[in-house]
Structure 1
Amino acid sequence: MISALLRVALRRAPSRVRHVEPVARDMATGLVADVYAQVERDFGLLAPPISLHSPSPEVMAASWLLLRETLLVDGAVDRGWKEAVAAAVSEANSCPYCVEVHGATARGLGRNGDHDLASLFAGDISSDHSAELIGVAATFEYLNRMVNVFLPASPLPPGASPAVSARANRVLGRLLLPRRAVLPQQSAITESPPSWAATGHVGAAFTRARTAFDAAGERSVPAPVREVVTAVLADWNGEPPGLSRSWVDRPVSALNEKQRPAARLALLTAMASYQVDDTVIGELRHQGTDDAELIDMTAWASFVAASCRAEQFQRLFGGNTRR
């Protein structure tokens, strides 16, 4: 019964994506089809946090690159430890969907109750361990924001009882247990990787992904909006701004009326993604913003915020690292 419930939930997952319409599995072509096939092969299912990006194929490919290279590919850190980091970051970001999925997987791998990020980084760890753990944390700083904007609070069907949900999560945790992911051939990289991951496949993945997210911002986010968001994030300490959205008004007021809806969405996505609602999206739809542009805007903002958080993690946890 529980397995059947999960199959139904996963089959219907694309219809539960909010604000945009993902490319249907049987309609996918080109890059979208390639990414869908790789997600199903390496992750075990077509994960909605990746497929929701499909209106913007290059951004979807970059999002999958981050998830695959940090969470799935074998490295210095075991998968259970990485899943625990994913769950802890997701809990801090108020992303119940990701807590449910990755908490269940962590428990399936024997990691129970590790929802404090500091404890997961505690102890004398190598630079390779640090880079991989910060890579996972940064990836979920990115994905949590996109999931909060575009997905419901749970991967399970609405209305499931607590008992059924608990049993379904145990089954889900088993479904997502590791499958071996082989490192792909890396393309030539001309940019410097982030300082917290100077070498290795994690640094390469973030460098390549950054190119795609920067391109998304350039084509879909007006330059003055990018400048405002970048300036606000430069002074951000990573703490949520609270339940009120009044903090957005001051930076947005510096822009012209046409640019304000994009700035409001980008800032909320970056710093309080749980506050993005139909009104925020509706302002952009009224201007004619399409699905691809919505994904570009939110993905760019999410990645800039995730990059800021990665640097903060390095300052917080890098002191334990040994070379």
Structure 2
Amino acid sequence: MTGPFRYTDPVPPKAATGVTADVYAQLAADFGIEGASTFVVLSASPPLLTGAWALLRESLLAGRASRTRKQVVAAGVSLANRCPFCVDAHTVLLHATGDHRLAEVIARGEVPADPEHAALLAWAKGTRTGQAGEPPFPAAHAPEFIGTALAFHFINRVVSSLLTETMLPGNAQRYRLVRSLAGRSLSRTVRRELTPGASLALLQTSGPEPAWAAGAPVGTAHAALREAARQGAGLLSEEDRAYVRDAVAASGGAHPPLTGDWLPARDERPGARLALLAAVAPYRITDEDVAAWRGPQHTDHCLVHLVAYGAITATERVEAALIADKEPV
């Protein structure tokens, strides 16, 4: 399958069957983008695909909080994680909400003039390093905002690991007019009110729901994604799993230096190296990193699960810092 996919050959929408086809259909209807590579890249593992889609849908797309405000959070997380593909995507989606100036201000790395948007952007960026501070949203909307932040901490890492930075052919998203036009084409879908919980029937895994979700559908989705992503731990030895967990905790969310001994050697611990890169610096994954671990024995299914394990390990660190902070006001 051609496109932005770096190391996998995902199931294209026209060839999809079963739950994968069901996700693609709901994705096209509710997100407005057919065959969105952000999710197609996970198609080798239906539990990961359904979990990631459900978490995004139930946090960002459905619910009572402003879609524009949640898009600001998604963009802020993507900026903090240095994911150009996702920053471009959220710029387009902010255009789709009709707030064209806000979209371009955030894309340029500037502070929005609106104090509420500025506070949300700062909070979102701070979630990576555990410095988010007081939540700038009401407690009733906490499941949606926290869910959106966690969804993109996971998705950013998958995207940076497994996709190129090219969102549109020829990198056309670099042009403001293209971003604006692309956003306008999605405006009707973005403004639709979606029924919460419609994605939950697609889920293939389950687990204990987080307290911060307060029983909302986003909690069920988050639990399903967490359980699916944790399955990637089985691709590593216990020693390597402990190494990855400890290194992610020690990182504190900081972007690691270009040199140093924070990363295990490629020829000694290739699996731990790849999972750790996915967790803290997925944009630094190279062909050599993937080849050193993959060999003939690991499939696309294995690769997306190992990346997902690194991504969820980092996301859980963010989650722990958020729930340890003060309750929303």
Shorter-normalised TM-score: what interval?
Answer: 0.7 to 0.9
SS in structure 2 at match of 1:319: coil
Instruction: Compute the displacement of 1:92 (Å).
Output: 1.0
- 8 A contact 2:4–2:167 mirrored in 1: no
Show the 5 A alignment for 1:292-311.
Answer: 292-311=301-320
Show the 5 A alignment for 1:1-323.
Answer: 14-45=2-33, 46-75=35-64, 77-109=65-97, 110=99, 111-112=102-103, 113-114=105-106, 119-120=119-120, 121=123, 125-158=137-170, 160=172, 162=174, 165-177=175-187, 178=190, 179-184=192-197, 186=200, 191-218=207-234, 220-244=235-259, 246-249=261-264, 257=268, 260-286=269-295, 288-315=297-324, 318-319=325-326, 321-322=328-329
Distance verdict in 2 for CA 1:30–1:311, change over 3 Å = same
Alignment gaps of 5+ in structure 2? 112-116, 124-133
Distance verdict in 2 for CA 1:166–1:17, change over 3 Å = same
Range with greater deviation from structure 2 (170-179 or 135-144): 170-179
Instruction: Compute the displacement of 1:74 (Å).
Output: 2.2
Letter in 2 for 1:56: S
Distance verdict in 2 for CA 1:149–1:124, change over 3 Å = closer
Instruction: Compute the displacement of 1:159 (Å).
Output: 5.8
SS in structure 1 at match of 2:217: helix
Q: How far, CA to CA, are the matches of 2:71 and 2:208 in structure 1?
A: 27
SS in structure 2 at match of 1:90: helix
TM-score, length of structure 1 as denominator length: 0.83
Q: How far, CA to CA, are the matches of 1:287 and 1:244 in structure 2?
A: 30
Letter in 2 for 1:275: R
Q: How far, CA to CA, are the matches of 1:288 and 1:190 in structure 2?
A: 28
Identity across matched positions, percent: 31
SS in structure 1 at match of 2:184: helix
Distance verdict in 2 for CA 1:276–1:200, change over 3 Å = same
How many residues align structurally? 298
- 8 A contact 2:160–2:283 mirrored in 1: yes
Distance verdict in 2 for CA 1:173–1:242, change over 3 Å = farther
SS in structure 2 at match of 1:235: helix
Q: How far, CA to CA, are the matches of 2:85 and 2:185 in structure 1?
A: 16
- 8 A contact 2:12–2:40 mirrored in 1: no
Range with greater deviation from structure 2 (199-208 or 97-106): 199-208
SS in structure 2 at match of 1:16: coil
Distance verdict in 2 for CA 1:123–1:200, change over 3 Å = closer
Instruction: Compute the displacement of 1:31 (Å).
Output: 1.9
Letter in 2 for 1:197: A
TM-score, length of structure 2 as denominator length: 0.81
Alignment gaps of 5+ in structure 1? 1-11
Distance verdict in 2 for CA 1:124–1:30, change over 3 Å = closer
- 8 A contact 1:134–1:314 mirrored in 2: no
Q: How far, CA to CA, are the matches of 1:58 and 1:174 in structure 2?
A: 32
